[in-house]
Amino acid sequence: MICQGRSLPTLVILGAGATRGASFVRPDPAPQPPLDADFFKQLGNAATPGSLVAQAKEQLDDAVAGAGLPSYGDAKMEEYFIRAEFTKALRVHMATSGADDKPGRRGNFAEPVVAYRKAIAALIAETTASRNCAYHRAIADTLEPGDTVITFNYDTVMDTAMEDASSNAGKGCEVDLGLRDIRLRSVRNALCEARRGGKAFLLHLHGCLSWRVGNMGVPPESLWSEPPDAHPCHLDERRQLGNDGDLNYERITSVELLQPGDGPEYDLGDMARRFIVPPLWTKPIARCQLLENLWAIARMALRKCKRLVIIGYSLPPADQLTNYLVEVDANVNSSERLEELVLVDRSGCVRERIVNKLADTKKAPAEEAIVEYRGIKQFAESLSRGQASTTAAVLRR
């Protein structure tokens, strides 16, 4: 990535704040791409009578009540579903141990998860689908072969930006989504091949709205780079959606890729097939070869980068997998000290948490190498101007 006049191997991490700060987002009370803190509020804002979001919200409310869970009210999204997950585990333990004297109150806990996946897909589609962001595009224009973008967002805003930069303007890099089997090659080779092929990785570590799984007898288009018989985890016709409608992550080895910018099929049954990992404490990374591959590439990218750009992501304590990734992979033998740490955060509250997380690792940057921007707009504008100053004090506003 070319940033501040310097070309360095770069890892960009996008959180929900990156999409919330997009150039197309309208002010409140218009529906906005949700943050963890206001997901349920935005769901209500977008639930106009008769809309797909309203249908999804009604199903979520019914599923929550049917499972005996408390109303979500103003709760944060991730905290609520983690609490629900532990409630499920506790009730299962009580039932198996005979301690539950009111077994009738136990509900189907798969239903709230399925209903959530429908609701988040409908809300993301309503607030982001087929929209272009000038700020994401400015970032995409500066990416170089071998760079990696990690996103924890389900939307396709960065997908669209990178595709447009590469296809329509001859800038940036061709996109590699990492949706292929890398068990027959090392992850390091995958990064080298991307660099030689003029590509940059875009890794959706929690899934994506534009990824759709198949069902019994309807195998989706395979995205593996090799033909199915070249590796042992090819797609077959086993059911990828369980009887309860939830995803069978163990059986998903490929997805159908809807092109960025394609309008979604406005049907809740279709939304249930979108490959979205819910915000639970136990995420199915080790149970899903597709996800395991993506995380393996992300871990190597963190080890190899010399510039780390974090946009709208606070490294929350509840996201244990990402905290583990930073703590472990930033401290392996192959890690090199960061020459630049760029923090893009409108609130200005994440600096201490991220710097402290990196402090005891081999990638810990020098104080003068830490650069801060107050939002994705300011960062994108500096890239568009080709700002060459490397003085952190000038950029820390």
CB-based contact 241:273 (threshold 8 Å):
yes
pLDDT at residue 6, as a whole number: 77
Q: Is the pLDDT of residue 373 over 90?
A: yes
pLDDT interval class at 351 (50, 70, 90)? confident
pLDDT at residue 182, as a whole number: 58
Q: Is the pLDDT of residue 199 over 60?
A: yes
Say which range, 51-60, 170-179, 304-313, has the weakest mean pLDDT: 170-179
Q: Is the pLDDT of residue 377 over 90?
A: yes
Rounded CA separation 238/224 (Å): 18
CB-based contact 60:195 (threshold 8 Å):
no
* Average pLDDT of the residues in 238-242: 57
Higher pLDDT, 169 or 381: 381
CB-based contact 25:32 (threshold 8 Å):
yes
Amino acid at 101: D
pLDDT at residue 4, as a whole number: 66
Say which range, 67-81, 121-135, 175-189, 202-216, has the weakest mean pLDDT: 175-189
pLDDT tens for 141-152 read 999 999 999 999
pLDDT at residue 56, as a whole number: 92
pLDDT at residue 283, as a whole number: 79
Domain span(s) for CATH 3.40.50.1220 in the chain: 2-24+131-206+283-395
| Residue closest to 191 by CA, chosen among 227, 144, 223, 152 | 144
Rounded CA separation 192/145 (Å): 9
Who's near 153: CB < 8 A, 6+ residues apart? 14, 15, 16, 18, 19, 204, 206
Which of 50-59, 224-233, 238-247, 357-366 has the largest mean confidence?
50-59
Say which range, 105-119, 219-233, 296-310, has the weakest mean pLDDT: 219-233
Say which range, 98-107, 249-258, 317-326, has the weakest mean pLDDT: 98-107
CB-based contact 9:395 (threshold 8 Å):
no
Tokens 């930033």 correspond to 330
Average predicted confidence (pLDDT) for the chain:
78
pLDDT at residue 256, as a whole number: 83
Q: What is the CATH number of domain 2-24+131-206+283-395?
A: 3.40.50.1220
Higher pLDDT, 126 or 216: 126
Instruction: Tell me the DSSP string of 224-258.
Output: -SS-GGGSTT---SS-SB-TTS-B-GGG----EEP
